[in-house]
Amino acid sequence: MDTTRRETRSVIDVRGLRKRYGTKQAVDGLDLRVDQGEIFAVLGPNGAGKTTTVEILEGFRDRDSGEVTVLGQDPASGGRAWRSRLGVVLQDSRDQVELTVRELVRHFAGFYPAGRDPEEVIDAVGLREKESTRARHLSGGQRRRLDVALGIVGRPELLFLDEPTTGFDPQARRSFWELVRSLREDGTTILLTTHYLDEAAFLADRVAVVRDGRVVALDTPDALGGPQARRPVVRWTGPDGTTHAERTTHPERLVAELTANGALDGEAPGLQVEHPSLEDVYLELIGTAAPTTASTTATTTAPEGSTQGRSTEEVAR
Ligand SMILES: Nc1ncnc2c1ncn2[C@@H]1O[C@H](COP(=O)(O)OP(=O)(O)O)[C@@H](O)[C@H]1O
Ligand SMILES: [Mg+2]
């Protein structure tokens, strides 16, 4: 037996999931597998079907068809014991509660025999200063952190986070990321949806991009999109002042060629080699990248550093 291979156990298994609301096919044949102990991010534009999928996995929503297993059970028939192994942070939680932060965290902790210490959880989400504030008086970002506290206080094996950091300031986001990583260290499996590419890049072991209710790409953040999409873009300004952009797996060869044939002079004005970011690859995958150009040398008029037109020219080489 091969003992070098990492033994992985799937915690979530989804095959051919479908869900329709009226005439809207929200989830349209979605496949997904999440392994034990990983942080798995689901990326996709608004309306892609992320929340619907997550709610089906949580057992909050019925599906039309497809096979779904979460922690060994079909969520449609998951009982209390199964549910107590899940932590859930919904996309929207607007209930106006009169209880304070501490009261709420303690109250939720009471449901779970092997839960976390409520005081540790309050510290972990950075709500110590707000422990005596009523939930309905919290700011959006603080309320979100309370949601997370309630999601993790039961020490779940599997944690669902649907857009957890919407409304966070950069500092709160950074400390939330550290918290999520520490949960993974504790052995928690995490399924996260997010709009933030940097969040997925920082946190996720693997990323699925969902579009129109289907997974269109699934890989590690570094490899998403495949080698073609990851080719660097070389940009330069020619002797006549026009700017050029070209994709190539060998930027150093291209620069040498351009120099040899006089397309670049010694000063090499505007010469840059740019590696596509996760965001660039994502925008191509969901089809909102700037139009592609199919000449050998794409001429771009996009201003330097603008997101539009960045690394999006597709050039046949
Ligand atoms: N309860 C609902 N009733 C009718 N349509 C819905 C409902 N929930 C979501 N939808 C529609 O289903 C599609 C997918 O929505 P959703 O799962 O919320 O996507 P996401 O979370 O990726 O933004 C959208 O077109 C949305 O308008
Ligand atoms: Mg959503």
Average pLDDT of the segment spanning 201-227? 94
Residue of 18, 19, 21 to mutate, ligand 1, most atoms within 8 A of C-beta: 21
The DSSP secondary structure of 158-187, one letter per residue, reads EEEEESTTTT--HHHHHHHHHHHHHHHHTT
pLDDT band at 275 (very low <50, low <70, confident <90, very high): confident
Q: Which residue puts its alpha carbon closest to atom 5 of ligand 1?
A: 21
- Nearest to 231, CA basis, from 215, 219, 220, 245: 245
Q: What angle do CA 10, 155, 162 make, to 5 degrees?
A: 65
* pTM (2 d.p.): 0.82
pLDDT digits (tens, 9 = 90+) for 71-84: 999 999 999 999 99
CA 47 – ligand 1 centroid, Å: 5
In this prediction, what percent of the chain has a pLDDT beyond 90?
57
pLDDT digits (tens, 9 = 90+) for 92-148: 776 767 899 999 999 999 988 889 999 999 998 889 999 999 999 998 888 888 999
Minimum-distance ligand 1 atom for the alpha carbon of 193:
21
Query: What are the structural domains of the chain?
Result: 10-219 (3.40.50.300), 226-299 (no CATH)
- Examine the pLDDT at 50 and tell me if it is beyond 60: yes
CA 15 – ligand 1 centroid, Å: 20
Residue of 52, 160, 195 to mutate, ligand 1, most atoms within 8 A of C-beta: 52
CB 202: neighbour CB atoms within 10 A?
A: 18
Please report how many Cα atoms fall inside a 13 Å half-sphere around the Cα of residue 115, on the Cβ side: 23
Q: Is 21 in the pocket of ligand 1 (CB under 6 A)?
A: yes
Tokens of 290: 């700037």
